[in-house]
Amino acid sequence: MERHYMRIGELWNARSELYVHQFHSPPEEVFQESHGWPYHKSLEDLQASAEMCDLCKLILVQADHLIAEFEGLNKSNLIRQNSPSFDLWLTKRRHGGDGFWVFTSGTPRLINRHVTFFLVAAVGICVAEG
């Protein structure tokens, strides 16, 4: 089964803080439900999985950092209209390489015909030769 990956190269970084990395799709892009591999449907699902899965636990730590920083930015009115929905998806890394990125869409999903995404975590994989 072929999956459509989010075309990260076509997204532009709208905002970058320490943990909040907000991306928008080009205006002409139509939102597709299939923008990677479904990972978890909600933050609660990720939290439940993190009890037994070390990878989920690592990603949950990054999600917690994103939430904390986002709340601070929201209080200062630096970010409005969108917040991470935590419908989590896995997609290829932007410039290739082994590993993946974990993204969530923003709510509401369409603003001025742009689709907003937030980077939740980046996972790189490396193995020693031999």
Q: What do you get for the CA distance between the two ends of the chain, in Å?
A: 33
pTM above 0.85, yes or no: no
Q: What is the pLDDT confidence band of residue 18, given thresholds at 50, 70 and 90?
A: low
Tell me: the pLDDT tens digits for 87-106? 898 988 777 788 998 988 77
Q: Cβ distance 7 to 94 under 8 Å?
A: no
Q: What is the pLDDT confidence band of residue 74, given thresholds at 50, 70 and 90?
A: low
Tell me: the pLDDT tens digits for 59-68? 999 999 888 8
Backbone φ and ψ of 64, nearest 5°: -65, -40
**CA-based diameter of the chain, in Å?**
52
The dihedral sign for the CA sequence 112, 81, 32, 119: positive
Query: Which of 67, 66, 70, 47 has its CA nearest to residue 57?
Result: 47
Q: What is the pLDDT confidence band of residue 76, given thresholds at 50, 70 and 90?
A: low
pLDDT at residue 48 above 90? yes
Instruction: Name residue 125's amino acid.
Output: I
pLDDT at residue 14 above 90? no
E strand or H helix at 25: none
Which residue did the predictor score with more confidence, 17 or 93? 93
In order of 2, 51, 104, 115, the CA distances from 23 in angstroms are 24, 30, 10, 8
Query: Which of 38, 42, 58 has its CA nearest to residue 50?
Result: 58
Task: Classify residue 124 by its DSSP letter.
Answer: E
